[in-house]
Structure 1
Amino acid sequence: MAHHLDLEEQEQLDRLKHFWRAWGTPITSVLIVVAGAIAGWNGYQYWQNRQAAQAAALWDVADMAVRAGDQARMEQAFGDLKAKYPGTAQAAQAGLALAKALQDAGKTDGAKQALEWVAQQSADEGLEALARLRLSSLLMDQKNHEEALQQLSGNFAPAFAAIVADRKGDILWLQDKRPQAIAEYRKAYQGFEDGLEYRRLVEIKLDALGAAPQDVAASAAQARQP
């Protein structure tokens, strides 16, 4: 009986050796790739966390500079964020803060450059939308209406749709394009919830253009009916 078991064990061992000769190299290669992928992922996670921490530290510097009104320090912090951590939310936030400070100081060219960078480089669609909206306002003030409208073209997050429509209406009104302005204001009026102060402001604009907001509300209500 013991001899039978020894033969059976030997057969199993021979089959294992044969299997390993046939498949040992591919299995080892796969294990090496998997181990490398795990190590690479862990390294990437560490790098990301380190990047975020360093970007946050620079944003703190920029924020303190904003509070202190230290424009030179703000520009330096924003420059470091752009150079080292361009894809972070902190870089976009610093750009928006710097743009506001520069615009308040009457340095519109610098403000425009900061907003353009955020609009083009931010990975956060909300911060990108804010940059484009603020840039459109700055261009409106410079009477550059066509470029202001270009900033409002393309895709925006749904949460910004009504605000974008209202801003388009403002620009079209300045261009004496009354029907187009009314159309955009109607979109904005329908997009804002009832009771919002912003909706009341759009209503005033529609009244000034001779368009009845009540008709807009009635059309929207009919559209919602099954």
Structure 2
Amino acid sequence: MTDIFHEIEEDLRRERMRKLWDRFGSYLIALALLVVAGTAGWSGWKYWREQQAFKASAAFEAASELAAAGKYQDAEAAFQALAKDGPAGYAALAAFRSAAVAAQVDKAKGVAAFDALAADAALPAALREVARVRAGLMLVDAGTLEEVRQRVGALAAGTGPMRNSARETLALAELKAGNAAAANKLATEITEDAEATGGERSRAELIRRLTAAAVPPPAAPAAPAASPATQ
């Protein structure tokens, strides 16, 4: 008797499954096909990304070799091509290398290239700040104090991660312009910054030693006034 009930239950279960399949089978097949297609598409996209990164890496290495060999114009063109068509990470790196290579031939052209990067809203703010400091550094030798201030003055006075690099750049420009006291002040700000790196501190200490004579000694404390009883 029990077997009969089991057979009936099994028949009912099969009947429910058949009805469910008749109703939703096509949807299940479509879903399965979508999963397979999606997996294949993801794998294909991932492979394509890897190939693009490999090609960009090879192109960047080739451009770097041209720069190391002193073929600056060829290297600049190669970096510019990668900056235009390469993946985002390599494109940004290539744009900076292109500007640096341009500066090897023509400082003014290099400054203009870094200025363009500093003004590129498509780049992260941190990279734009790096570009401003790079332009300022080149102008320490090739420009005026005011031109350096235009690039890094706001960074040096701020609290961003590039503040000490900007202070150092501006201190060098002040020192070159003969403003030893101003250079000393900027160097002191670096040494007193708890987040300054070891290299930044060492260079700032050197600037402080070079400009120490321009800093007036602290004023002697005033002598206490004599009390009426001692007069």
TM-score, scaled relative to structure 1 = 0.66
CA RMSD of aligned residues (A): 4.0
Name the residue aligned to 1:63. Answer: 64
Aligned 8 A contact 1:168 1:181 in 2 = no
What is the distance in 1 between the residues matched to 2:216 and 2:28? 74
After superposition, where does 1:82-93 map in structure 2 within 5 Å?
82-85=83-86, 87-89=88-90, 91-93=91-93
Aligned 8 A contact 1:55 1:88 in 2 = no
Per-residue deviation, 1:168 = 4.2
Aligned 8 A contact 1:92 1:118 in 2 = no
Structure 2 counterpart of 1:147, from 145, 150, 161:
150
Paired letter, 1:200: E
Q: Which protein is bigger by CA-based radius of gyration? A: 2
What is the distance in 1 between the residues matched to 2:42 and 2:178? 54
Name the residue aligned to 1:135. Answer: 135
Per-residue deviation, 1:85 = 0.5
Give the unaligned 5+ runs of structure 1: 213-226
Paired letter, 1:70: K
For the structure 1 residues 128 and 58, does the alpha-carbon distance in structure 2 shift closer, same or farther, using more than 3 Å as the test?
farther
Paired letter, 2:111: K
Cα deviation per residue 1:135-174 (whole Å; 9 max; x = unaligned)? 1223443222443136847885x4x443233234455776
Matched residue SS, 2:88: coil
Tell me whether 25-34 or 52-61 shows the greater mean CA deviation. Answer: 25-34
Aligned 8 A contact 2:171 2:187 in 1 = yes
Aligned length: 206
After superposition, where does 1:1-226 map in structure 2 within 5 Å?
1-20=2-21, 31-85=32-86, 87-89=88-90, 91-105=91-105, 107-116=106-115, 118-119=117-118, 120=120, 130-140=130-140, 141-143=142-144, 144-149=147-152, 152=155, 156=160, 158=161, 160-170=162-172, 182=185, 184-191=186-193, 192=196, 197-204=202-209, 207=212, 210=215
For the structure 1 residues 185 and 40, does the alpha-carbon distance in structure 2 shift closer, same or farther, using more than 3 Å as the test?
farther
TM-score, scaled relative to structure 2 = 0.65
Paired letter, 2:202: E
Cα deviation per residue 1:75-104 (whole Å; 9 max; x = unaligned)? 221122022105133x44444444334323
For the structure 1 residues 22 and 147, does the alpha-carbon distance in structure 2 shift closer, same or farther, using more than 3 Å as the test?
farther
Give the unaligned 5+ runs of structure 2: 218-231
What is the distance in 2 between the residues matched to 1:204 and 1:188? 14
Identity of aligned residues (%): 20
For the structure 1 residues 151 and 92, does the alpha-carbon distance in structure 2 shift closer, same or farther, using more than 3 Å as the test?
farther
